[in-house]
Amino acid sequence: MFAMSLYDNIRELTFFLRVTEESSFSAAARSLDVDPSTISKVVQRMEDRLGVRLFHRTSRTLRLTHEGERFQAAVLKVVSAIEEAEESLNPSLNEIDGVLRIGSTAGFARLWLTPLMPGFCASHPKLKVELVASQTPLNLAEQQLDLAFYSGMVPDSSLVARRMTTVHWRIFGSPEYLKRHGTPRTPEDLDGHQCLNFLPGSFRSQWPLNDGHDVRSFTPSGPVAATDGDVLCQLAVAGMGLVRLVDARARADVESQRLLSVLDEFRAPGDPVYAVYQNRRYLSSRVRAFLDYFSEHVPAD
């Protein structure tokens, strides 16, 4: 009786997830090769048993309720645990092969992905990795990416996003620049400084700072703007102005005292970094292996 009940529960969860993926009872039924009424009855039975409505239903749309979203997150964990249990007995996982295509910005690839490559590739010698760097939002389907990394907001809500780490930003200046122009003590002092910035219109050209009550965005100006953080970092080391960079990018220059951080007490919270992929249910062993390796070697915060 227990085995039959467990089977029925897993079947219900499978139906539920397929409906969330297809956003349609009829499309879910076609993909599962069952009658649409069967899907509808299963979902209704689940709602009756749980005592909540899982979907908002109209003649044109089908979307998850707040309770449905919470239930979906829990169900995905259950399905993932089942898949991991099955894969733990699959000896072929020790021989991951094929091609893994990973997308990110060039800066993220340099600072976070490339340092992982030697160890990861040594662990999976039959696997080939292709890194696709772009300054514009990546389209996983068009560019045939297995996963991509985004900092801040994920542009496509239909994708699965897994939070991996957090990037922290600081404002830096060279000792020579600070000696000539003084050290800013408050965010408002930035108006009197030359600031090196990302190109206007980029979300990175806004400098969010916490004034103790709220996070305010400043748009400082200066002699040079660029698309690349490494360029801005080198210009700051040369004494051309203040710059806002990710901690990791400036770490070597800070350790050698070519750059000093300023306004640290006004730092805004860090930006979350997400690994994004198309479908958690069919996550390949290649993607799972890299996500696990990333989690093991990169601090979550």
What CATH number does the domain containing 22 carry? 1.10.10.10
Final residue in a domain of this structure, among 37, 71, 87: 87
List the CATH number of the domain containing 254.
Answer: 3.40.190.10
For residue range 198-210, what is the model confidence (pLDDT) as tens digits? 998 887 899 999 8
Query: For residue 252, what are the contacts with CB-CB under 8 A and spacing of at least 6?
Result: none
Please give the pLDDT value at position 160.
Answer: 84
For residue 223, the one-letter residue type is: P
Q: What confidence tier does 3 reach under pLDDT thresholds 50, 70, 90?
A: very low
Question: CA 225, CA 245: separation in Å to the nearest integer?
Answer: 13
Q: What confidence tier does 157 reach under pLDDT thresholds 50, 70, 90?
A: low
Query: For residue 280, what are the contacts with CB-CB under 8 A and spacing of at least 6?
Result: 76, 79, 80, 160
For residue range 108-156, what is the model confidence (pLDDT) as tens digits? 999 999 999 999 999 999 999 999 998 777 788 788 899 999 887 776 6
pLDDT, the chain, mean = 87
Please give the pLDDT value at position 253.
Answer: 96
Q: What confidence tier does 1 reach under pLDDT thresholds 50, 70, 90?
A: very low
Q: What confidence tier does 301 reach under pLDDT thresholds 50, 70, 90?
A: confident
Final residue in a domain of this structure, among 66, 87, 108: 87
The residues with which 274 forms a beta bridge, in sequence order, are: 150, 163
φ, ψ dihedrals at 68, nearest 5°: -65, -40
| Same domain for 281 and 260 | no
Please give the pLDDT value at position 92.
Answer: 53
| Same domain for 279 and 252 | no
Residue 283 has pLDDT above 80, yes or no: no
State the total domains in the chain.
3
| Same domain for 257 and 199 | yes
Asked if 229 and 107 touch (Cβ cutoff 8 Å), the reply is: yes
| Same domain for 260 and 184 | yes
Please give the pLDDT value at position 82.
Answer: 77
Please give the pLDDT value at position 186.
Answer: 93
Q: What confidence tier does 282 reach under pLDDT thresholds 50, 70, 90?
A: low
Residue 4 has pLDDT above 60, yes or no: no
The single-letter DSSP state of residue 153 is S
User: Is pLDDT larger for residue 150 or for residue 241?
Assistant: 241
| Same domain for 291 and 280 | yes
For residue range 18-71, what is the model confidence (pLDDT) as tens digits? 888 888 888 888 888 888 899 999 999 999 999 999 999 887 778 899 999 889
62: containing domain = 2-87
Q: What is the pTM of this model?
A: 0.65
